[in-house]
């Protein structure tokens, strides 16, 4: 892999992925809603930061042209950007539902297709890794639309893998469990509000669902992503790999 595009690279899992891929020798395009955070991570990764909203599908062509001009054509894409709204089912609004799918599903699909089509046009090969979640398989009380969006990520990953399998572009997904990031802290706060408990109680409850007994680190996820982008996984496509300390065993 020469040039990797990582969305949601401003913090958490995306930041760890950007740093890992850069350590492995890739030029990394760090994309985030927050341009300053993207630039800060890019500076650490020796790459370049871009402010972009992955729900703005119309902007993908300009974004990819800019990255191609700055770093070269993208041959590794990691769709990390995601939103997870945590509230009781009765509070879910159509606008929130639409936002969850616009970011987690629609943006991921159209960016994946754009990158894959460019690779095919250039007669090049590449790989894409999508961020799913154990929530695709395990229902969560206050994350109805989030779980559905991550199930859609698993399904899209398989369909895209099938379409591009003979064209040299592999698609796989990673399903993280409980990972220590700002999203996990925010979810614990919102779940505590919904249940009338404390965020720490919610984090403790979640940890009880992890057989390995520890919270995952963003780097636990990043090293799996690096494997799925690398030639070491050259015969693997259409799979979802759980990185969850044993929460899910299938
Ligand atoms: P995070 O701490 O919330 O980081 C997500 C990053 O994505 C933020 O920098 C955020 O920017 C950015 N982002 C959000 N919406 C965006 C958009 N429309 N366009 C571009 N960037 C956007 O989340 P995380 O915990 O690292 O999670 C990363 C991914 O892993 C997500 O897809 C999440 O669903 C998945 N995941 C996480 C866990 C976990 O335990 N943490 C478990 C399973 C799956 P702003 O902060 O500026 O909004």
CB-ligand 1 contact for 84 (6 Å cutoff): yes
Pocket test for ligand 1, best of 8, 29, 173 (most atoms within 8 A of CB): 8
Angle of helix 94-101 relative to helix 144-164, nearest 10 degrees?
A: 30
Distance CA 145, CA 100 (A): 7
Could you report how far apart the first and last alpha carbons of the chain are, in Å? 30
CB-ligand 1 contact for 173 (6 Å cutoff): no
CA 144 to chain centre: 18
Beta strands of the chain (E only): which ranges? 3-7, 27-32, 48-51, 76-79, 126-131, 169-176, 240-243
User: Nearest 5°: phi and psi at 216?
Assistant: -75, 155
Q: What pLDDT score does 12 carry?
A: 98
CA of 166 to the centre of ligand 1 (A): 31
Q: What pLDDT score does 57 carry?
A: 98
107 close to 81: Cβ distance less than 8 angstroms: yes
DSSP category for residue 32: E
Q: What pLDDT score does 170 carry?
A: 98
By DSSP bridging, strand 27-32 and strand 3-7 are parallel
Return the structure tokens found at 32: 């985030």
Q: What pLDDT score does 147 carry?
A: 98
Q: What pLDDT score does 157 carry?
A: 99
CB-ligand 1 contact for 83 (6 Å cutoff): yes
Pocket test for ligand 1, best of 15, 33, 145 (most atoms within 8 A of CB): 33
Q: What pLDDT score does 22 carry?
A: 98
Q: What pLDDT score does 143 carry?
A: 96
Q: What pLDDT score does 161 carry?
A: 99
Distance CA 219, CA 83 (A): 20
The alpha carbon dihedral of 227, 230, 234, 236 has a sign of positive
Q: Please indicate whether residue 235 is annotated as part of the active site.
A: no
Residues of the chain with pLDDT under 50: none
Mapping DSSP to helix (H, G, I), strand (E, B) and coil, where does residue 179 land?
strand
| This prediction's pTM | 0.98
DSSP category for residue 240: E
């Amino acid at each position: 892999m020469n040039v990797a595009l990582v969305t949601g690279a401003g913090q958490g899992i995306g930041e760890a992925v950007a740093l890992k891929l850069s350590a492995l020798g890739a030029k990394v395009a760090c994309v985030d809603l927050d341009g300053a955070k993207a630039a800060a991570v890019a500076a650490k990764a020796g790459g370049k930061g871009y402010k972009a909203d992955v729900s703005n599908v119309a902007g993908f062509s300009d974004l990819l042209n800019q990255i191609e001009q700055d770093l070269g054509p993208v041959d590794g894409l990691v769709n990390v950007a995601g939103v997870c709204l945590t509230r009781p089912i009765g509070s879910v609004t159509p606008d929130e539902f639409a936002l969850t799918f616009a970011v987690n599903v629609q943006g991921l699909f159209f960016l994946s297709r754009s990158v894959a089509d460019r690779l095919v046009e250039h007669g090049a090969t590449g790989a894409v890794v999508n961020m799913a979640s154990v929530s695709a398989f395990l229902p969560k009380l206050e994350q109805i639309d989030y779980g559905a969006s991550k199930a859609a990520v698993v399904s899209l990953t398989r369909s895209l893998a099938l379409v591009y399998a003979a064209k040299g572009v592999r698609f796989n997904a990673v399903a993280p469990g409980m990972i220590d990031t700002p999203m996990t802290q925010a979810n614990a706060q919102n779940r505590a509000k919904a249940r009338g408990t404390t965020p720490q109680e919610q984090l403790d409850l979640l940890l009880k669902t992890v057989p390995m007994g520890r919270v995952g680190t963003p780097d636990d996820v990043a090293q799996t992503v690096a494997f799925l982008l690398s030639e070491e996984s050259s015969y693997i496509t259409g799979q979802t790999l759980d990185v969850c300390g044993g929460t899910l065993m299938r």
